[in-house]
């Protein structure tokens, strides 16, 4: 079996929906709206990454936070800092790393796999 066969869902996004040095929250599809899982897709200097969309500290959205020049996502609520490439906590109050997701760029599309 290939890795693709183990993948639950995917989100397909046009590259131009996420300008360089920006972050946008998307949702993996689900049968019921409340079951949709959010993912934060980040364009860091032309490279795309995907991490959990909510801070592991208080469960609030990271989309309104900001992306630093050295590739860190800063939570707008309590200031936790995460590495966009690895999801690792760089600074608290968060203590738990964020999950990362596999990302492929094909032509003008960014594909994020759950």
pTM above 0.85, yes or no: yes
pLDDT at residue number 80 = 95
Domain assignment of residue 89, given as a range: 3-113
Residue holding tokens 């995917």?
Answer: 10
pLDDT band at 23 (very low <50, low <70, confident <90, very high): very high
Q: What is the domain-level CATH number for residue 63?
A: 2.102.10.10
Answer whether residue 1 shows pLDDT above 50: no
Average pLDDT over residues 78-99: 94
Q: Which residues of 50-63 are buried (b: 16+ CB within 10 A; e: fewer)?
A: bbbbbbbbeebebb
Residue 32 and residue 16 in contact, taking contact as beta carbons nearer than 8 Å: no
- The pLDDT tens digits of the residues spanning 33-83 come to 788 889 999 999 999 999 999 999 987 889 999 999 999 999 998 989 999
pLDDT band at 6 (very low <50, low <70, confident <90, very high): very low
pLDDT at residue number 60 = 84
User: What total of structural domains would you count in the chain?
Assistant: 1
């Amino acid at each position: 079996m290939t890795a693709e066969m183990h993948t639950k869902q995917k989100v397909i996004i046009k590259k131009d929906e996420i300008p360089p040095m920006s972050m946008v929250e998307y949702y993996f599809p689900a049968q019921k709206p409340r079951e949709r899982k959010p993912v934060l897709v980040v364009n860091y200097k032309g490279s795309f990454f995907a991490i959990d969309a909510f801070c592991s500290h208080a469960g609030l959205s990271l989309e309104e936070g900001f992306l630093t020049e050295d590739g860190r996502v800063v939570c707008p609520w309590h200031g936790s800092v995460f590495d966009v490439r690895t999801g690792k906590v760089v600074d608290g109050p968060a203590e738990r790393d964020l999950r990362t997701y596999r990302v492929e760029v094909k032509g003008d599309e960014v594909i994020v796999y759950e």
